[in-house]
A and B are shown apart, each in its own frame.
Chain A
Amino acid sequence: RKEVEQDPGPFNVPEGATVAFNCTYSNSASQSFFWYRQDCRKEPKLLMSVYSSGNEDGRFTAQLNRASQYISLLIRDSKLSDSATYLCVANQAGTALIFGKGTTLSVSS
């Protein structure tokens, strides 16, 4: 079983829509979690860190449920510029990060 699993999508939504991505992780010892954004043929860039129960940054909200080993990312009022692949990431015992395969989002006008 892959340590971090995501629905690959693609998610195709109109501008202004709200979209949610889900992610599960298998290692209960994981201490912290992140969402990265990756544009086509570019490097991943940190979008949000996820500590304790979750956090919010503008239109983006990340939530963590340790009991269910589940992480989510909510994007409100989607913009064309939000089109990208979103990577769910778990910290592996403080040594390295484990990446999900990513969820592709396409926002259309």
Chain B
Amino acid sequence: NAGVTQTPKFQVLKTGQSMTLQCAQDMNHNSMYWYRQDPGMGLRLIYYSASEGTTDKGEVPNGYNVSRLNKREFSLRLESAAPSQTSVYFCASSEDVTYYGYTFGSGTRLTVV
């Protein structure tokens, strides 16, 4: 089982560039999530999708957009990257967050210069 797959694993962007982080899960989970993790700040929720066709803002959505392309895929887009978006980004999915928690992808390390 691949679980949750994130691409790319590493990326360097220049300020103002755009990019899309891809996430796909093969566990038939309904809900998917995007978090960022920064030193001293912990994991913070950017956006989530409780089911195919729905998306909702989390704690830190500014500067990001998301697309739930289908049940398997949930992408995160940075339209105009800023140095403050330098972070490690984790995608996660869940069958039922109350009982099973999340399965995480291996993360994308993004540096904006």
Binding site for B on A (CB under 8 A): 31-32, 34, 36, 42-46, 49, 87, 89, 91, 94-102
| A44-B43, A96-B58 known; A89+B48 contact, CB < 8 A | no
Cβ contact within 8 Å between A49 and B99: yes
Q: B39-82: contact bitstring with A at CB < 8 Å (1 yes, 0 no)?
A: 01111010010100000101000000000000000000000000
A98 to B99 Cα, complex, angstroms = 14
Contacts of A31 in B (CB 8 A): 98
Contacts of B104 in A (CB 8 A): 43-45
Q: Is the interface of A mostly helix, strand, loop or mixed?
A: strand
Q: B72-109: contact bitstring with A at CB < 8 Å (1 yes, 0 no)?
A: 00000000000000000010000001111111111100
- Besides A31-B98, A34-B101, A96-B48, 9 more A-B contacts (Cβ < 8 Å) are A42-B107, A43-B104, A44-B104, A49-B101, A87-B43, A95-B48, A96-B97, A97-B101, A97-B102
- CB < 8 Å neighbour of A94 from B33, B41, B58, B97: B97
Contacts of A101 in B (CB 8 A): 40-42
Instruction: Look across to chain A and name the residue whose beta carbon is closest to the beta carbon of B90.
Output: A43
Instruction: Look across to chain A and name the residue whose beta carbon is closest to the beta carbon of B39.
Output: A101
Report the minimal beta-carbon distance from A5 to chain B, rounded to whole angstroms: 10
Cβ contact within 8 Å between B42 and A95: no
| A44-B43, A87-B43 known; A95+B50 contact, CB < 8 A | yes
Cβ contact within 8 Å between B42 and A102: yes
Cβ contact within 8 Å between A95 and B97: yes
| A95-B48, A96-B33 known; A46+B101 contact, CB < 8 A | yes
A30 to B48 Cα, complex, angstroms = 18
A-B contact pairs, 15 of them (CB 8 A): A32-B98, A43-B104, A44-B102, A46-B101, A46-B102, A49-B99, A49-B101, A94-B97, A94-B98, A95-B56, A96-B33, A96-B48, A96-B58, A96-B97, A99-B35
